[in-house]
């Protein structure tokens, strides 16, 4: 077999998953909350939001970092890294993957984040201004860096294969998973810990997103603020979260007797090359990413059973994504259930594609599709089956997960029920 043939035949599967989300800590808790239509959005508690245009968020409440890392390490790690270590612990436990001298050089870690340790940066800036440079923590720089989550995970679990952070705004988590799968597919690793983490519910982030009019202003009704595809949507709700997947080369996973949850069947990436923040109105870039994911999966529109949409609850994104779905899937687009779990979690930026990948795989494993809550008034520009009536029993074999980021970054992942 030639190297190129071998690469094409190398399959990538998922053997473990972990999440930290506004609706639950852990995969099962988060999944059950989503299927029940439970909302994780409320008025911000981590600082006084009164002066801000948007005063709500999807906060992770009840997270105790010392449940996952020692107290000394807590003081020198940013919150997004703490989330990543917690989610990785869950994913590795489920996977049962043992990293030791026999394989450590072949296990990679790829973790995306849109912004990284923003809160640390804000606090360090205040310290510099008020107390001077000598009072800055020596851990300031490594706590801020986006790549430090991947570095900390590698140190914790002893993985010394390919390792980096990835930044593509709100597509970061999806790109990290897709690129990790490609690393395994081409033979540069036999396994990768991959995903995205974000913790940017800070005054700077909320203020900046508010100033660009990206966030919902429904401050008097936070639970109904995130309403993807609804005619009354007025912006997204910022959130924090983390999602981590353990990816492995299929034959290696099977030989060690791993429980295989699903296959990463395809991955597509593209750029809008259009605007700093707005999506290309026809969904052209999103369409290319979806088409490429299907091509890589060897699949067509007829094979798609469910779409976990990017669905941010912004007027422009939801209309452009709907147009892209219709363009790729044609008449079948109206028959495929689509849901935006951001209606319950809010938009966790660089973590969104990762937690939604976990939710996409859970739909395959569990045979349920979570709803899009808060959908009340149809929008003529958004006319697909958005699963608005509550959880739906489905047996999806192929699921698409869309993620689109500021700057025109697009990613689509295709997950498939494993078929030998």
Task: Report, as residue numbers or ranges, the catalytic residues.
Answer: 170, 310, 347
| Apex 230 CA angle, 229 and 233, nearest 5 | 95
Beta partners for residue 13, in sequence order: 248, 263
CB 378 within 8 A of CB 198: no
Handedness of CA 92, 31, 234, 402 (dihedral sign): positive
Q: For residue 173, report the phi and psi dihedrals to the nearest 5 degrees.
A: -65, -40
Q: Which residue has the tokens 């001298």?
A: 101
Nearest to 8 by CA among 416, 296, 413: 296
Q: Which residues lie below 8 Å from residue 174, measured CB to CB, with a gap of 6+?
A: 112, 196, 352, 353, 354, 356, 357, 401, 403, 411, 412, 413
Please tell me the chain's helix, strand, coil percentages from 3-state DSSP, rounded to the nearest 5. Answer: 40, 20, 40
């Amino acid at each position: 077999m030639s190297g190129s043939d071998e690469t094409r035949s190398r399959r990538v599967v998922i053997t473990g998953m972990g999440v930290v989300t506004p609706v639950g800590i852990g995969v099962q808790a988060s999944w059950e909350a989503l299927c029940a239509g439970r909302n994780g959005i409320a008025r911000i508690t981590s600082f006084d939001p009164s002066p801000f245009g948007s005063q709500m968020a999807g906060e992770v409440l009840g997270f105790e970092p010392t449940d996952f890392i020692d107290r000394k390490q807590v003081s020198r790690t940013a919150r997004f890294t703490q989330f990543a270590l917690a989610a990785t612990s869950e994913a590795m436990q489920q996977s049962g993957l043992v990293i030791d001298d026999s394989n450590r050089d072949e296990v990679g870690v790829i973790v995306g984040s849109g912004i990284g340790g923003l809160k640390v940066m804000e606090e360090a800036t205040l310290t510099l201004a008020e107390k001077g440079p000598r009072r800055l923590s020596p851990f300031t720089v490594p706590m801020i860096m986006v790549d430090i989550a991947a570095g900390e995970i590698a140190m914790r679990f002893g993985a010394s294969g390919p390792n980096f952070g990835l930044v593509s705004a709100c597509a970061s988590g999806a790109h990290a998973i897709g690129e990790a799968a490609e690393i395994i597919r081409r033979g540069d690793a036999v396994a990768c810990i991959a995903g995205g983490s974000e913790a940017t519910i800070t005054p700077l982030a909320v203020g900046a997103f508010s100033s660009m009019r990206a966030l919902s202003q429904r401050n008097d009704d936070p639970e109904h603020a995130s309403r993807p595809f609804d005619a009354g949507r007025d912006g997204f709700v910022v959130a924090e979260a983390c999602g981590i997947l353990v990816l492995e080369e299929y034959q290696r996973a099977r030989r060690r007797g791993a429980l295989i949850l699903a296959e990463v069947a395809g991955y597509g990436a593209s750029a809008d090359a259009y605007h700093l923040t707005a999506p290309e109105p026809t969904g052209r870039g999103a369409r290319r990413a979806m088409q490429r994911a299907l091509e890589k999966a060897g699949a067509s529109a007829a094979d798609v059973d469910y779409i976990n949409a990017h669905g941010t609850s912004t007027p422009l994104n939801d209309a452009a994504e709907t147009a892209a779905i219709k363009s790729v899937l044609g008449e079948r687009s109206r028959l495929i259930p689509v849901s935006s779990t951001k209606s319950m979690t809010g938009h966790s930026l660089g973590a969104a594609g990762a937690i939604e990948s976990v939710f996409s795989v859970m739909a395959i494993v569990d045979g349920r599709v979570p709803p899009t809550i808060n959908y009340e008034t149809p929008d003529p520009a958004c006319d697909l089956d958005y699963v608005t009536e509550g959880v739906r029993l489905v047996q999806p074999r192929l699921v698409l997960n869309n993620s689109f980021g500021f700057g025109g970054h697009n990613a689509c992942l295709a997950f498939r029920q494993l078929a030998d």
